[in-house]
Structure 1
Amino acid sequence: MCWRRLRDWTEAGVWPRLHAILLAELRTADLLDIDDAAIDGSHVRALKGRAHTGPSPVGRGRSGSKHHLITDRYGTPLAVSVTSGNRHDVTQLMPLLDTIPRIRGLVGRPRYRPRRLFADRGYDYDKYRRLLRARGITPRIARKGTAHGSGLGKTRWVVERTMSWLSGYRRLSPRYERDPRNYLAFLGLAAALCCYKRLICLTT
């Protein structure tokens, strides 16, 4: 019964809609700052095979998946995705931006596009800087081969903290789900729960 309900709700798009509703509530409460966004990816071990798994370059080649996450300035999850563990982070940059919902909550046009995007050296490709600028987004991406201490980490650290929050959910780390749709459903639900906890903690 529970698995059938999960399947039906997932196919009906319940989790993305729930996430979008909570983001709108956060924006209404002035608890969302999408002007500055941060993006990152994180490996998670997959105990069972199937789709969206692959040899992890940071896990001695063991099967794994990768979470991709973009957050607002406060670390609020805006969009999440899952790929195999051997996919490069930068390949999911543009698809993840496209997944950000139209966030309502205030009078005027819904927001879905950050003004600045912060990322680590894994996203250091001029091609993607050009793609971001074409969308009116200013890239704030660390350069490879430069010394640490650029100051970008003062804004970028929030996405790493949110990654650790997501990894704290039992169904996400390690990955037990064979079906990638179920796993993405649990990841989307976890992102919505992060939004809900922030909303409740700061408005009560």
Structure 2
Amino acid sequence: MIHAIVHAADIQDRDGGSFVMATMFGLYPFLMKLYADGGYQGPLFRRAVAKIMERVNVEIVKRSDHAKGFVVLPKRWVVERTFAWLGRCRRLAKDWENLNRKALAFLRLASIRLMLRKLCNPA
């Protein structure tokens, strides 16, 4: 996990995504490509990302109209797999936290646990 922000549930992902990009590209100005799902599609998000950093290429990973049933989407499975790994942490499985900063702290701890497990058990 490179960066995360926990915000209120009344903020739409597309609106919160531009805030995440503003803080993340300030920390990592060398990033050139951004993969996003269909929820971030539209001119508002593209303009917000272009205003933050002009050279970033936003690629929307969409499901094919001809696909039937379950189809693995390129690049999107990496994010979904990571969410599944983080969801195995008991503390993140339910929304127990009352404060955003505590939820972010437990998200970071779970990510650190996941990275340590990958480093210590290379298979």
TM-score (norm 2): 0.74
Residue identity in the other structure for 2:119: L
Runs of 4+ displaced beyond 3 Å: 98-102
Q: Residue 132 of structure 1: which of 34, 37, 49 is its match?
A: 49
Residue identity in the other structure for 1:140: E
1:147 pairs with 2:65? yes
What is the CA–CA distance in structure 2 between the aligned matches of 1:119 and 1:139, rounded to whole Å?
7
Residue 170 of structure 1 deviates from its aligned partner by: 0.8
User: Is contact 2:61–2:73 with CA below 8 Å preserved after alignment?
Assistant: no
Residue 152 of structure 1 deviates from its aligned partner by: 9.3
What is the CA–CA distance in structure 2 between the aligned matches of 1:143 and 1:137, rounded to whole Å?
19
Give the unaligned 5+ runs of structure 1: 1-76, 103-110
Higher strand share: 1
Q: Residue 2 of structure 2: which of 64, 67, 78 is its match?
A: 78
Give the unaligned 5+ runs of structure 2: none
Higher helix share: 2
**Percent of aligned pairs with the same amino acid:** 28
How many residues align? The count is: 117
Question: Aligned ranges for residues 23-172 of structure 1 at < 5 Å?
Answer: 77-100=1-24, 102=27, 111-134=28-51, 135=53, 136-142=55-61, 147=65, 153-172=73-92
CA gap 1:154/1:143 in 2 versus in 1, 3 angstroms: closer
Residue 148 of structure 1 deviates from its aligned partner by: 6.2
User: Is contact 1:142–1:152 with CA below 8 Å preserved after alignment?
Assistant: no
TM-score (norm 1): 0.48
Considering only aligned residues, what root-mean-square deviation do their CA atoms show, in Å?
3.0
User: Is contact 1:80–1:191 with CA below 8 Å preserved after alignment?
Assistant: no
